[in-house]
Structure 1
Amino acid sequence: MTQTLAVDVNDDGLYTLSVPAEFEANGPFTVELHNHGEASHVYLNLDDRLSEVARIEATNHYLKENEQRRIDVATHDPSTWPDETLRGSLKVVVAHGQETRYVSVVLERAAETTTEVEVAPELSSPTVTEQSTEPTPLLRALPVVVAGSIAVLLAVGALFAAGGTQLLLGIGAVVAAAACGVAAYLLFE
C-alpha cells in the first residue's frame, strides 16, 4: 500500500499551505494536493539527499479552483539505497514563491517479506507415467526406407547389368517396390 502525504493549498486563505512537519514512508509514496480555493501553481522539490533514491516526474503543478491531484514519488530499488534510513526534505511552494514549507521526509527500507506458497500434497511428489510401447514415427518408417532403398538399388543395378540378369534384376525391383507399398500401407494403417 502506498503512503500518502496530504498537502492543503489555500485552506487558510489565498496562497497558504498546510503540510505536516514530518512524513515517513518505506518506499514510493504519493503527494496528494488539495486546493481549497483559487487556482494556484504548486511546486514540489526533493532535496539532494532524497533525490539519491527518489524522483518526481513533474515538479510544477497548476491546480484549478477546488482541484485535487495525486503526484507519485517513485523510489529506486531499496537494495541500492546507501543507508537503511534516509532523511531529507520535500520543499512545497505555492504561487511562485509566495509561500514555502518544508516537510521532513524519512524513507526506511521496507522489511523484506517472503510469501509462502502452499503446495497440494498430491503435487509434492513426481508422478509416474506409463511409457508407450508403440515405436516412434521415425522407427515405424524405417522398414519403408530400407525397402525403398533396396528397390532403387535393384533398379539402378538393372540398368548396368548385361545379358540375362537384366530380367532377374527387373523382377527383383518390382518385388521390392511391392514390398515397399505393403510396408507403407501397414505403417499408416
Structure 2
Amino acid sequence: MSEPLPVHVNRTTLHGLEVPKSFETSESFEIRIVNHGEPTHVHLHVDDALSELAAIDATNHYVKRGSERRVRVTLTKDGATRGNLKVATAHGATTRYVEVVVTESEAETQGVVVDEDLAKPRPKSEAVESEDFSGRFERSIPVIVGTSLALGVAVTAAIVFGTDFVALAAGVVAVLAFAIAFVIAFVVLTD
C-alpha cells in the first residue's frame, strides 16, 4: 500500500486545514486525518473524474481532539485519471482541494511475465488429463443402455403379469436402485 495522504486539522488555527497540493498513487490508499485541536467533523468528497476509479466508504468523519483517523480510498478498477479530493471542515467554511493523480500500476504496464518452463511439455504422469463431453458420453453408453433395458423389463413384467400398481412401483424402485448403484460403481471404477 502507498503512503497515506496527510490531512492536518486545527494545527495552526481553529478549523484550519493543511493538505498537500497533489498526491500520486497507483493503488488504493488511506487518508490520514490528524486533529491537533478541538473535536471536529471532516468531510471528504471525490469529484466526477476521480470517482470513475476511486471510492470512499463514507464522506463525513468525526475526529476526536488530539487523535487521528484513517479513511480508506479504494481504487475500484484499473486505469489512470486525474481528479480532485475535496476536504472540508466547519460545515464547509474551510475547504481545500488535493489534486489526486492515479497512474497505472507497474504490473499493468509491464504485462505478464511467463516462466519458460511452461512451454516445455510435461510427462503424461504430470499432465492434467481432460476429457471432452463426447468422451464422457461414450463411456456412459453401457450404463444408459443397461438402465434402459432394466427399466423396460420391469415395466414389461408388470404389464404381462398384472397391472398391480404396488408391484409396478416396487419393481421400478428396485430397478432405479440397481441403476444408481451401477452408475456409482461405473464412475468409481473408470476414474
Q: TM-score, normalised by structure 2?
A: 0.57
Name the residue aligned to 2:95.
100
Cα deviation code 1:61-113 (max 9, x no counterpart):
011101111100011220xx4xxx31110000011112100001100110226
1:3 aligns to what SS in structure 2? coil
1:106-185 counterparts in 2 under 5 A? 106-112=101-107, 114=112, 126=123
Tell me which protein shows more helix as a share of its residues. Answer: 2
CA contact (8 A) 1:89 1:102 kept: yes
Q: What is the alpha-carbon distance in structure 1 between the residues aligned to residue 98 and residue 125 of structure 2? A: 63
What is the aligned-residue RMSD (CA, Å)? Answer: 2.4
1:10 counterpart = 2:16: no
Q: Note the residue ranges of structure 2 that are not aligned, 5 or more in a row.
A: 127-191
> Compared with structure 1, are the counterparts of its residues 14 and 27 closer, same or farther at alpha carbon in structure 2 (3 Å cutoff)?
same
Q: What is the alpha-carbon distance in structure 2 between the residues aligned to residue 107 and residue 14 of structure 1? A: 32
Cα deviation code 1:24-50 (max 9, x no counterpart):
000211101000110011000000100
Q: What is the alpha-carbon distance in structure 1 between the residues aligned to residue 30 and residue 74 of structure 2? A: 9
TM-aligned CA deviation for residue 8 of structure 1? 0.4
State the identity %.
Answer: 43
Q: What is the alpha-carbon distance in structure 2 between the residues aligned to residue 128 and residue 43 of structure 1? A: 61
The 4+ residue runs of structure 1 with deviation greater than 3 A are 113-119, 124-129
Aligned length: 121
Q: TM-score, normalised by structure 1?
A: 0.57
Q: What is the alpha-carbon distance in structure 1 between the residues aligned to residue 42 and residue 27 of structure 2? A: 23
Name the residue aligned to 1:132.
none
